[in-house]
Chains A and B, each alone.
Chain A
Amino acid sequence: MLHLEQLSKTYKTGETALHDVTLDVPKGQILGLIGPSGAGKSTLIRCINRLVEPSSGKVLLGDVDLAKLGKADLRRQRRRIGMIFQEYALVERLTVMENVLSGRLGYVPFWRSFLRKYPPADIQRAYALLDRVGLIDHADKRADALSGGQRQRVGIARALAQDPELLLVDEPTASLDPKTSRQIMRLLTEICTERGLPAIVNIHDVPLAQQFMQRIVGLRAGRVVFDGAPDALTEAALTQIYGEEDWNAMRAGDAEQAAAEADARDRIAALAK
């Protein structure tokens, strides 16, 4: 379904975020992308729908190479890829309904979106999706009136409104409490299974990844250093991904992030005993 070939990204600052990443995601597979911050997880999924321009390599979705498309073609192809964001990225002053309908923007002409005159089928689909994520009663509320978990469910409905063939999910639970995180992950995996949707999920929380993902890819300094089933993610594999003790000093400026990763590692260590 999705095939990445020797995908590389070097930022203008000279920092290489991705280095020859080659990856295959078959239909229906839910893939968890783990790795320390700065490993290139966000860059990788943003290179797929080209919110970040890859420097070289191929991004094949079906048989279309997304990396080569012009502006108009890119917009048309982006409709096939739904994206779910860290911190939800809902347009806060718009209603829940408008946020869900914004998933249809790639399909409707400007005047329809401007006047909020979406085709009846789109509106019906939006209601169906809101019902699926359990928010049908909140359709007319402003997005900023919802709680974190509810907002992320709107984010999921928005991505699904695109009728996508692939989901890109960037840290879906980063700002949620553990219980809500699990609920969101369960909803995501259920929906992917229902529709046979492949998904790439950036995720910080290693135990959560092991619980919900079918396959784990470990990224370190822009290279794939692990690729296997969640069970194969041993202590040694985690050390390879996250590095030895010195990762603490390495990420001094990102102490909070590092603390979260340390926490994840400790919990894994506890599980392994």
Chain B
Amino acid sequence: MTAPSYPTTWRRPPQIVKDRRWRLALQIGILVYLVLAIGSVEVNWARVYDGLERGQRFIMGFLQPDFSSRWRDISQGLVESLTMTLTSTVVGVAISVPIGIGAARNLAPRWIYYICRSIIAVSRALQEIIIAIFFVAMFGFGPFAGFLTLSFATIGFIAKLLADDIEEINESQAEAIRSTGASWWQVVNYAIQPQVMPRLIGLSLYRLDINFRESAVIGIVGAGGIGATLNTAIDRYEYDSAGAVLLIIIAIVMVAEYGSSYLRKFLQ
């Protein structure tokens, strides 16, 4: 009786392109494209050299941030941003909850479902900056445009994730509540809400954090807040004030990030 001779080597079979020649052609093709693409990027070295000096001043501004000479502008922008963030998150979440429930296939009638899903799709398709430009054009410069922008963006974010979460609930709990003779509202309150609440709170805190960061960005296109202060400082070549603003933004984002992740961990 002889032992069968099993192979001693094994290679992982190719997963995507099975044919060896095609694989080689594809690899060479990608390499050629990369070389050509990099070659096509035009770099104006003289301009880069000029810019280096400006960049150096910028960094020097960072190293010696000037909090005091523009403190009034900075603090006003900061208060505006924080107000915008908090109000837009609260309003956005409040509007998102009914839309999210309406966008859950297992709760809403077909026509409501389609309406709510389209609202979500529109809100998610438009980037914050584009909406901000639109609202600034409509309502003028200032934090009101920013507030509307962030509320609108929050709706798409929270409503979609809430709806997806509702669609993934444990259906038997809802069935049990329904079988007691509960009305639709009672089913939502007793079977759905307890299952999605921790996640909804977590998402809202996360969104608060995102909204603050976004408020700095949309300020640059005129929607008020700390972003507007930053933009003004850069326009005036006051890089030391700009550095101060950036440092404050970084500090607040870090605090918000740490705080919200701590709270979320505490909730789950």
Interface positions, chain B 165-193, Cβ under 8 Å from A, are 170, 172-173, 175-183, 185-186, 189-191
Does B194 sit within 8 A of A, measured CB to CB?
A: yes
Verify A114–B189 contact, CB threshold 8 A: yes
What string of 1s and 0s marks CB contacts (under 8 Å) between A83-111 and chain B? Answer: 10111011111100010001111110010
Q: Are A87 and B176 in contact (CB under 8 A)?
A: no
Q: Which residues of A contact B176 (CB under 8 A)?
A: 83, 85, 89-91, 155, 158
A-B contacts counted at CB < 8 A amount to: 82
Report chain B residues within 8 Å CB of A104. Answer: 180
Known A91-B195, A105-B181, A106-B181: A51·B175 in contact at CB below 8 Å: yes
What's the nearest-Cβ distance from chain B to residue A117, in Å?
Answer: 13
A180 within 8 A of B: no
Task: Indicate if the CB atoms of A78 and B175 lie closer than 8 Å.
Answer: no
Q: Residues on A close to B: CB < 8 A?
A: 49, 51, 75-79, 81-83, 85-87, 89-94, 98, 102-107, 110, 113-114, 155, 158, 162, 168
Please report the total number of B residues contacting A with Cβ < 8 Å: 21
Q: B197: CB under 8 A from chain A?
A: yes
A49 and B191 contact, CB distance less than 8 A: no
> Chain B residues with Cβ under 8 A from A155's Cβ?
176
Residues on A with C-beta less than 8 A from B183 are: 75, 105, 110
Are the C-beta atoms of B195 and A102 separated by less than 8 Å? no
A89 and B190 within 8 A (CB): no
Closest 5 CB pairs between A and B? A106-B181, A78-B181, A105-B182, A89-B176, A93-B194
State whether B172 touches A87 (Cβ < 8 A): yes
A94 touches B194 (CB 8 A): yes
Known: A75-B181, A91-B195. A110 touches B175 (CB 8 A): no
